[in-house]
Structure 1
Amino acid sequence: MLLFDISAFAQTEVVESGQEPAFWLWQFFGRLHPLIVHFPIALIVVAALMELFTFREFNSKIRPGIMILASIGAISAILAAPMGWLLATNEGTSGDLLDLHKWIGIGTAILSLITLFFLSKIRRRPTSSQIKPFRATLFLTAICVSVAGHFGGSLTHGEDFLTEVLPSKANEFEIEKTPINLAAYKAELTPEKEMKLIGEVRMVLAHNCYKCHSGSKIEAELRLDEKEFFFAGGESGQILIPGNPGESEIIRRINLRKNHDDVMPSKGKLLNKQEKELIALWIAKGAPWPDGAAQQSIYRVAKLAPRNPALPAYKAGLDNPIDLWVDSYLQENKLEWKELVDDKTYLRRIYLDITGLIPSPKDLEEFRRDSRPDKRSIWLQDLLSKSDDYATHWLTFWNDVLRNDYTGTGYITKGRYNITDWLYTSLRDNKPYDQFVKELLNPTDKSKGFIEGIRWRGTVNASQRTEMQAAQNVGQVILGLNLKCASCHDSFISDWKLEESYAFANIFADSTLEVSRCEVPTGKFAKTEILWEELGDIDSAATKAEKLRQLADKLVQPANGRMYRTIVNRVWKQLMGRGIVEPVDEMDNEPWSQDLLDWLASDFVENGYDLKDLIYQIASSKIYQSQSIGYESYDAVMADDYKFNGMVRRRMTAEQFSDAVSEIVYPLFPEEEIKYNPFELQKPEHITPSFARASLVANNPFLTALGRPNREIVSTSREAQGSLLQALELTNGERLNTALQKGAAKWKTQLSDPVQITEELYLKALNRKPNEKEMAIAKASLGQNPDAAKIQDLFWAVILLPEFQMVN
């Protein structure tokens, strides 16, 4: 919607382009069109509605009013047509949408003339032969003027002006947009990176600009959907100078404040910071844009078939096959192994990764006293056997991935289904992953929320209809594939075609889908196919239930190496802080170790699709037990030239932080906030946790501030960077402040000695005793007889420490 200010530039730019400036009077009359056009819309429609009340008695007492309204409305509709033509001619607006509005407007004017003709007839001596055609033309004129008005509003405000405020449209931008990895493009561009950069730029333009500047509508003579038009610019001249973003008009305008006369987009949301930086970077790189579409693909495509590479030669001390692959990678890249972490760090790490909790001082003491040489593997296995704690923690990850939550719009309208019981039970029982996926794709009543739970959105648009959303979500979650771009048109960032997306979406449909390209129906109907023909055929004539059963059987077969690479990559990222492939939803990207990824996937299949076994395999490796690495920015972690050298240091999740505070200080969530309580299903001797785990409560402002997504869309990665909202919530938030106040009061009744209070807090929160300096500061702050307020201040000081909040 990069709409240039016509009133400011109309005169000067026409002269600069070599055209004669339009005569001011014609421009003036043209601009009266929006004013005049409201008369026929209102008056003719009201006249038609009033006419309905005269069907029994034509000469009703409201007849004079109908005659007046219809006459004025018809005359103004006739006047509006030439004024609209003057407006379009003199203001540089064109496009398919304008053409449609113009012809319907002309039709309305003709119908208005006919209506005036019959009005003159019935005004003298109405007969039955005159009344019927009068009414017919009046009603038809009312319909046409309404339709013309709708398209006129679409021209002025955008094609989705009416629908964008509906609940089903609330998250359309969120559905469509994907994170932009700017770091990948800052170095020298390879041909593949250049194509990805162009694709991302075009997606930003499609989401924000095509409403007003594409083939369907061309404001200010500016069209941005094809290279030829983009580089030519609009009525104000060129909008970009390749290689010079600072002098490019488009950069100036997208960076203006909202409501500025020149800001672009002029309607709707402004571009976000990443989108602005992306366009500036693209221009700085010379604004590359390939000529024509017929060229050999340069996109990397990961192989579908599984691969089980032979393990490197055994090395002493590297008993886990993962470490053999890592050692081979480190040698190849001339990198050194990091030192192993101490017992305290390892125990804290596996507790947080397996159960989401911090080990107690008692647990740490027992672990330190354990003299068995393989104690780390034994304790890891023991934690994995704590099935309820494991399920409660990993429920967070799968809730994000599968859009499962406890409350929200869809649950109120009964268009969304909760799968928590099925999901929790599947995790607790360590259901094999192939069966897990089968039950998601060919669901029971308890697991149907992933497929059926998108229906509450309704059909937002053709590319977001419910069947297409199902295809997108299955592609993203199960296959690490981005089909969002290819759901509207052929993808800008891969070789996937629109017809292939529709063929996959047909599997989730009750009937065959008609293909729409950029929201315009093509009249073609899609086939019914899996994205890879090697996986087998789907019977297009089968019922939806049968198609889903066939899909489930064919996707989980061992021949689908992509599916198993996707899940092992996701689990690797959860434990190591970064995937072998990044982003984890784009599995065609280059892994830092193809051999390790392939071996992990093959081993996962050979060991019965056992998720706990996969976690054990990774968490018992030497590389997992090595020192973590901190990075200055998340961009460095996601960069294409990233070199793996160990676990990426990461922050606790919202749930881990909440559970830690609840366990150490005071529960953040009262029992009544629990939305799903799996412990009610357990045997009587099972001990319910002393506090509500954050994964079992509905989302709230506190958890949202700390990074928990709303789960109305698939979320496979959480924001890694801290934010101002988090800082405010952790320092001034009411929920945390209340919990710390109550916790301080409780601690005050149990401990009075400042040394005891400090040591107890450090042992529980940081798994160590305070050093001399920390103890001195704490004693000075608490005083001899600390009150609750001073204890609370100590709580604040400790839980805000990076040492507490980081998984090291």
Structure 2
Amino acid sequence: MLDFSVPRQFACVGLILGITLSPCFADDAGLEFFERKIRPVLVEKCYACHSAKAAADGELKGSLRLDTRQALLVGGDSGPAIVPKKPDESPLIEALDYTTYEMPPSGPLGEQVVSDFRKWIEMGAPDPRDGGKVDPVAKNEINFDAAREFWSFQPPTRHTEPVVQHKSWIERPIDAFVLRRMEDAGLSPSDTAERRTWLRRVTFDLTGLPPSPQDVERFLKDHSADAKSRVVERLLASPQYGEHWAKMWLDLMRYAEDQAHIVGNNRSLCYPNAYLYRDWVIEALNDDVPYDRFIKLQLAADLLEPDDDRNHVALGFIGLGPKYYRRNSLEVMADEWEDRVDVVGRGLLGLTVACARCHDHKYDPIETEDYYALAGVFASTRMLNRPLKNAKKSEKSKQAKSPDDSMHIIADAPTKDLNVFIRGDVKKKGPTVPRRFLQILDPEAKPFASQSGRLELAEAIADPNNPLTARVIVNRIWARHFGTPIVDTPSNFGKLGSEPSHPQLLDDLATRFVEHGWSLKWLHREITLSATYGQSSLGTEKSLEVDPANVYLSRMPRQRLSIEQWRDAILSISGKLEPQVGGTSIDPQDPTAARRTVYSEISRLELNSMLALFGHPDPNTHSERRIQTTTPLQKLFVLNSPFMVAQAEAFAQRLIDNRKDLDSQLDLAYRLCFNRLPHEAERSLAKQFLQSDEDDAVGRWTQYAQILFASNELQFVD
């Protein structure tokens, strides 16, 4: 059990010394970066002189091969070509920079290419070409029937609950699958979590807020058989549920309100009313819009409901994507289309389809033609600033005159089937590819015939026979509740992704999710009312030894609050949290901004420093999970930022105003912060501190409030 006494809370400021990064997340991002930015350049510009084929033809230059990772590290006549994580010591960079060598001899490749190579080397030069767990898929060798034997391309099915020894432990079907894996490993579940602990956990998980002292007292007095179920129903029915879970979706769809590149004061490509889409997501989640319809509306609401525009703002899913200057340039538009394919591919299907822009996917059964079949759908749309009511429109157009007067969506444009751009080069055109779905997911893959094809694409993705869509969202929801997904690469269900830790559980849960009308609230009920979810986070000595990573879920993981949960909890504790749902964006660092953190303004150009400091993802791209960081600056922010000082002052005044004696004030402080009463040691130390300067009671209480705000216990949930 962690000790959260006052001296420990002070000490934590000095103990936080570095940054931690999830290695699996970094590796996934690195390999994707290699496939998109590095491999195509090596193949097109380097292999002619620096590959096994060049060696076989007697054309190998400088004894240097660049077609394997080992060859890059060994190098040629001049030594290693790269030094991972040290681009300034890597001769390859000097060659690309035309510093000491000049490669390729045909001419420099440009600053962006050199920048990509520098970034890749700084990442450690991730490269799957040697010793990988799968072989690359070669051109014209895709046997789609054979490829569909891969686990993620097989339709999920119901599974009979496995036989277990301790059947009495089971509360939900989930539990039988989890328990069987535990028992096979010689493990048993942890004890059931204390009721107070469970309530704090489920309240944060479903609403992103701590339970009130009144919630705790009411639950502790309720010993009825359905007490937990009624708590879950209350939380799912609250508007705070949609506010909390919307952030997961906004991360996935790279929600932002401006662009990464803004020239001077030209903000014509920005999205002043992006918040309308955010409000739609919150409302849709609160209304438990079925997930299949949730998808369809965001890709094709205007085609589904042409005469009813209430849901058209959902088209911000694509309409709020990155836009670039020189939008009449084919090269620029190709980059925009790649973004759309990527967010649909990884976000909805868990496939890295965009890796096939320059070449057939090296590992998954996705041809370059598949990529351009999807890109053609988005090439047949246009970004539209649809006028708000009473807004002025430009002549011969449905565009608003000003972005300030519009909602930012998409609409169909003249249909356009794209040519394959050979190796991604828009100047080198291959065969034309009709707009259609992915061949691996649709054996017939008939061309889309209806307008842009957005509606047909949406229906294909949301088809209950699609083996990926339900699995992907179930895995994402599971990850948010348990800290670790069943498939540890949530946006990559391909061959380079992880295999599921509990495959039958994932299939069974995904199948039942569809059978229950694609209801996300049903899914939350199944998870939060399970015995697996109800375990204590204190594992046994054996479980910690046998299963240190908690793969078998023999205990609940202790989880750190996201920046949104933590800031909202601070506001709730201080008594300043404003309940307004929806509306325009705020600056989360503003001491007077008391709305929930989901309403923060999100900038691609310069992410708010408070959000960035606490691990908010880069809104320029799809984000599958949060990176956990721990830095000294985070604790300095708690101690010094005007926002935190203002909340500490408000919390201190709340305690002083609501209780007359010191013991009652301390009781309230701990009930608000930690949903418990202080231990005697904590009470004694607090009294010594608070009574040491009776002439400045408010100042002492403010400092004490900051100590509580900085505590580990407030940042973690058991």
TM-score if structure 1 supplies the norm length? 0.64
Assess, with a 3 A threshold, how the Cα gap between structure 1 residues 424 and 673 changes in structure 2: closer, same or farther. closer
- Choose which of 422, 436, 439 in structure 1 pairs with 2:297: 439
**Is residue 2:334 matched to residue 1:425?**
no
Cα drift, residue 291 of structure 1: 10
The answer to whether the aligner puts 1:653 opposite 2:559 as a matched pair is no
Residue in 2 that maps onto 1:738: 646
Aligned mates of 1:507, 1:376 — CA distance in 2 = 46
Q: Pairwise mapping of residues 654-733 of structure 1 onto structure 2 (< 5 A)?
A: 654-665=563-574, 667=576, 675=584, 691-699=594-602, 700-733=608-641
* Identity in percent: 24
Q: Are 2:341 and 2:354, in contact at CA under 8 Å, matched by a contact in 1?
A: no
Residues 491 and 624 in structure 2, CA contact (< 8 A), matched pair in contact too: yes
Residues 643-668 of structure 1 show CA distances to partners (whole Å, capped at 9, x for unaligned) of 44343322111111011101112648
| Distance in 2 (alpha carbons) for counterparts of 1:241 and 1:538 | 36
Tell me the number of residue pairs that the alignment of Structure 1 and Structure 2 aligns. Answer: 597
Residue identity in the other structure for 1:413: S
CA distance in 2, matches of 1:562, 1:202: 20
Q: CA shift at 1:747, angstroms?
A: 4.4
The answer to whether residue 37 in structure 2 is matched with residue 207 in structure 1 is: yes
1:352 corresponds in structure 2 to 204
With 573-582 and 745-754 compared, the bigger mean Cα shift is at 745-754
1:611 deviation in Å? Answer: 0.7
Q: Is the deviation greater in 459-468 or in 691-700?
A: 459-468
Query: 2: CA distance between counterparts of 1:200 and 1:708?
Result: 19
Report the Cα distance in structure 1 between the residues aligned to 2:444 and 2:614, rounded to whole angstroms: 44
Alpha-carbon distance change, 673 to 610 in structure 1, aligned in 2, over 3 angstroms: closer
Distance 1:256 1:562 in 2: 39
Matches within 5 A, 1:428-507: 428-444=286-302, 445-454=312-321, 456-457=323-324, 458=327, 461=331, 464-507=334-377
Counterparts of 1:608 and 1:450, CA distance in 2: 22
Q: 1:261 to 1:710 in 2, by over 3 A?
A: closer
Range with greater deviation from structure 2 (776-785 or 248-257) = 248-257
Match of 2:153 in 1: 303
Partner residue of 1:622? Answer: 531
Cα separation, 1, equivalents of 2:55 and 2:705 = 62
CA distance in 2, matches of 1:241, 1:536: 36
Aligned position for 1:514: 419
Q: Does the 8 A contact of 2:80 with 2:91 survive in 1?
A: no
Q: State the alpha-carbon separation in 1 of the partners of residues 121 and 52 from structure 2.
A: 17
Tell me whether 1:413 sits opposite 2:275 in the alignment: no
Name the CA distance, whole Å, in 1 between partners of 2:697 and 2:686: 13
CA gap 1:553/1:323 in 2 versus in 1, 3 angstroms: same
Alignment partner of 1:799 out of 706, 709, 718: 709
Matched, 1:544 2:396: no
Query: Equivalents in 1 of 2:117, 2:687: separation in Å?
Result: 51
User: Residue in 2 aligned with 1:181?
Assistant: 24
Report which of the two has the higher share of helix.
Answer: 1
2:670 to 744, 751, 762: 762
Give 1:575-586 correspondences, 5 Å limit. Answer: 575-586=481-492
- The 2-side partners of 1:544 and 1:274 are apart by 40
**Amino acid of the structure 1 residue aligned with 2:711:** L
* Residue 334 of structure 1: aligned partner: 186
> Which amino acid is 1:735 matched to?
F
Q: CA deviation at 1:488?
A: 2.2
Q: Could you list the per-position Cα deviations for residues 772-791 of structure 1 after superposition, in whole angstroms to 9, with x for gaps in the alignment?
A: 22122212222252533322
What is the CA-CA distance between 1:767 and the residue it aligns to?
0.8
Task: For residues 363-419 of structure 1, give each alpha carbon's deviation from its aligned partner in whole angstroms, at most 9, with x where no partner exists.
Answer: 111111112133112211222122x12112112222212233456669943565551
Instruction: Name the aligned partner's letter for residue 698 of structure 2.
Output: A
Task: Give how far 1:434 is off.
Answer: 1.3
Evaluate the alpha carbon distance shift between residue 586 and residue 376 of structure 1 in structure 2; reply closer, same or farther with a 3 A threshold: same
Structure 2 contact 83–90 (Cα < 8 Å) conserved? no
Aligned residues of 1:506 and 1:513 also touching (Cα < 8 A): yes
Matched residue type, 2:247: T
* Whole-angstrom CA distance in 2 between matches of 1:494 and 1:701: 38
Q: Is the 8 A contact 1:502 1:513 kept in 2?
A: yes
SS of residue in 2 equivalent to 1:621: coil
Encode CA deviations 1:500-553: one digit per residue, 9 max, x unaligned: 1112222333201111133322332123221146647666473534x1122222
Aligned 8 A contact 2:666 2:678 in 1: yes
Structure 1, 439-448 or 487-496: larger mean CA deviation: 487-496
What residue ranges of structure 2 are gaps of 5+ in the alignment?
A: 1-20, 98-110, 303-311, 381-415, 587-592, 603-607
- Secondary structure of the equivalent of 1:359? coil
2:469 paired with 1:563: yes
- Determine the C-alpha separation between the residues in 1 that align with 2:316 and 2:711: 39
In 1, are the aligned partners of 2:258 and 2:270 still within 8 Å (CA)?
no
| SS, match of residue 181 in structure 1 | helix
The farther-off stretch of 267-276 and 499-508 is: 267-276
- CA shift, 1:244, in A, is 11
1:255 aligns with 2:163: no
Kept in 2, the 8 Å contact 1:395–1:423? The answer is yes
Quote how far apart the aligned CAs of 1:596 are.
0.4
**Partner secondary structure for residue 505 of structure 1:** helix
Match of 1:593 among 499, 502, 524: 502
**SS of equivalent to 1:489:** coil
Deviation (angstroms), 1:494: 2.6
Q: Tell me the CA shift for residue 554 of structure 1.
A: 2.7
- 1:143-158, aligned counterparts within 5 Å? none
Tell whether 2:221 aligns with 1:369.
yes
Deviation, 1:581, is 0.7
Q: Deviations over 1:597-630 (max 9, x none)?
A: 1110111111111110110010000000112379
| 1:398 is the counterpart of 2:307 | no
Q: Which whole-Å CA distance do the structure 2 matches of 1:593 and 1:289 have between them?
A: 21
5+ unaligned residues in a row in structure 1: which ranges?
Answer: 1-177, 185-195, 678-689
**Structure 1 residues 614 and 697: alpha-carbon distance in aligned structure 2, compared to 1, 3 A threshold:** same
- Shift of the alpha carbon at 1:722? 2.5
Q: Which amino acid aligns with 1:471?
A: V
Structure 2 distance, partners of 1:669, 1:251, is 54
Measured in 1, the distance between the counterparts of 2:354 and 2:218 equals: 51
- Seen in structure 2, the aligned counterparts of structure 1 residues 233 and 640 have a Cα distance that, compared at 3 Å, is farther
Whole-Å Cα distance in 2 between the matches of residues 259 and 752 of structure 1? 68
Aligned counterpart, 1:129: none
Superposition CA RMSD, Å:
4.5
Alignment-mate amino acid for residue 235 of structure 2: L
1-side partners of 2:700 and 2:644: how far apart?
A: 16
Distance 1:711 1:637 in 2: 38
Q: Is the 8 A contact 2:350 2:492 kept in 1?
A: yes
More deviation, 364-373/781-790? 781-790
CA contact (8 A) 1:400 1:715 kept: yes
Cα distance, 1:265–1:345 mapped onto 2, change above 3 Å: farther
1:322 aligns with 2:174: yes
Q: Which has the larger radius of gyration?
A: 1
Q: Could you say which structure has the greater relative contact order, defined with CA pairs below 8 angstroms and 6 or more residues apart?
A: 2
Question: 2:406 — aligned with what?
Answer: none
What is the CA–CA distance in structure 1 between the aligned matches of 2:446 and 2:71, rounded to whole Å?
52
Q: What CA distance in whole angstroms lies between the structure 2 residues aligned with 1:637 and 1:182? A: 24
CA distance in 2, matches of 1:246, 1:216: 20
- What is the one-letter code of the residue matched to 2:299? L
Of 587-596 and 231-240, deviating more is 231-240
> How far does residue 206 in structure 1 lie from its aligned partner after superposition?
6.2
Whether the 8 Å contact between 2:560 and 2:717 is mirrored in structure 1 is yes
- Cα deviation, residue 360, structure 1: 1.2
**Corresponding residue to 2:681 among 761, 773, 781:** 773
